[in-house]
Amino acid sequence: MFNTKLEELSLTNMSSWFREELPSHLAKTFYSNYSVDYPNTSTLDSVFNGIGIIMYYDPRYKRLIITKKDYVPVDYATTYYDFATNQWKYSLNMDRAVWFSNTTSFENKSWTISYSFVTNNWTSWHSYRPSAAFSDDTHFYTFAVTSAEVGVLNRTIWKHMPFNNYQKYYNVKYDFVVEWMNNDISTDTLSTVHYQGYSLSRDSVNNRWAPVDATFDRGIFYNYDQSTGLVNLQLLDQHVNPYGNVGFSNLNKQVIKTDDNYKITGLYDITTSNPPLTNAWGFMKLYAGYIDQVPFTGNYNYNASAYDLANIKNKFVLCRLFYKPTQDYKKVINLLQTNEMRSIR
């Protein structure tokens, strides 16, 4: 950034992450396996099937957006590089060529992150990870390949940020994800999770935003060795059903709404072993869009008796909420908070 002097943006709380994630994982593993640098070819495949860094600007919200395209073979023994044809091939499928979008052959290490010149902070990761991008005076556009079949290019140019297109990229709805951490020098037991916000639908007839009853539909609450697992969140209006939160389920949790305030209760540890979350590709590839880690599904017992459950207790707890609207709703979150009981020990 230039503001009478050059400033390094990565120093804003992200220097260590960029130091680890900006170098290409493919280039590193390719050299380790073949003792040569990854070839820089100028074929059609390399344009849409290549690796590298893309930078583009969002003129509407004054953001710098960076996309890194990067992949690694799941197993170099079965997915190998054919230097004669400059193609990746898969030995378990008659040595046919494969593209990076093939999740059986490649682990997707790509990501997209944005920096706001309004708040001077890194603001979010994003679900879209395009192959190219450009901007005009009011919007930015991304170019993506949506086919895993070699020789077939399903190319999509997507205009970002028009009304009634929230959480939608290349005609696919993605999750809106919010995570925050509560930490303390003391040891606390998680009691309830609170947040304040609202959802809006665009009323094009009257040219206004109209409030709608919609909130997060999934969540996971965890520390390094305890977790609720991924739970379904069900909105409860106690004015309509005052006893709707009576009863207990490990899988389904009630979200109690009062005005624009929301509360989630009944959060307990249901892990049977560690780790509660993982970044192993076998689990990660099942999630659409960018994510850093997902629940290790084999390490949870959703059928555990409520009498056998332990409290989630530590010096910190992370709360991750997911929202995938079926309609084009705008989601606004103003305040996130947990209530915890301090340990007397």
User: Is the residue at 82 inside a domain?
Assistant: yes
Tell me, yes or no, whether 330 and 194 share the same domain: yes
pTM of the model: 0.89
**3-class DSSP state of 187:** strand
- Mean pLDDT check: name the lowest of 74-83, 115-124, 187-196: 187-196
In angstroms, rounded to a whole number, what is the distance separating the alpha carbons of residues 127 and 160?
12
User: Is the residue at 3 inside a domain?
Assistant: no
Domain range for 55 is: 9-162
Tell me, yes or no, whether 207 and 244 share the same domain: yes
Q: Are 160 and 130 in contact (CB under 8 A)?
A: no
Tell me, yes or no, whether 276 and 208 share the same domain: yes
In angstroms, rounded to a whole number, what is the distance separating the alpha carbons of residues 335 and 328?
22
In angstroms, rounded to a whole number, what is the distance separating the alpha carbons of residues 331 and 322?
11
Tell me, yes or no, whether 213 and 154 share the same domain: no
Tell me, yes or no, whether 133 and 219 share the same domain: no
- Among 162, 197, 229, the domain-final residue is 162
Regarding beta strands 329-342 and 176-203, do their DSSP bridges make them parallel or antiparallel, or are they unpaired?
antiparallel
Which pLDDT tens digit goes with each residue over 52-107?
999 999 999 999 999 999 999 999 999 999 999 888 999 998 999 988 888 999 99
Which pLDDT tens digit goes with each residue over 266-282?
999 999 999 999 999 99
Tell me, yes or no, whether 205 and 151 share the same domain: no
Number of domains in the chain: 2
Tell me, yes or no, whether 275 and 150 share the same domain: no
Tell me, yes or no, whether 142 and 252 share the same domain: no
- Residues counted in the chain: 345
**3-class DSSP state of 9:** helix
